[in-house]
Amino acid sequence: MYRIVHDEETYPQLAALPTDSLDSYTELIATLEVAPWNGKPQHPNNPDGAVRCWVFTWPHGSGQVIYLIDDGRREVHILRLQWFG
């Protein structure tokens, strides 16, 4: 299991998430704790890269999380959180 670490820059992004997106975001975080490598590589030319992205949706919008996997420490660092909706 991986520990989720929100980088300081993501706190304002997290606070701005719409209320109706929180369940979807929580499900995404639970998935990242056990299967972070299932996310899409951030750069297609680096398919094995540790920087990944994952899109999550809810009824009135969608969001994307960009994160870094640190296998040595068993951590997932949330680098950026964007949402649309």
Cα–Cα separations (whole angstroms), residue 82 to 30, 44, 54, 73: 18, 20, 11, 25
Pick one of 3.90.320.10, 3.30.2310.20, 1.10.3720.10, 3.40.630.10 as the CATH number of 3-84: 3.30.2310.20
- In tens, the pLDDT along 19-40 reads 999 999 999 999 999 999 999 9
pLDDT of residue 24: 95
Residue 48 vs residues 64, 68, 69, 70: alpha-carbon distances, Å: 19, 12, 11, 13
Summarised one tens digit per residue, pLDDT across range 2-22 is 999 999 999 999 999 999 999
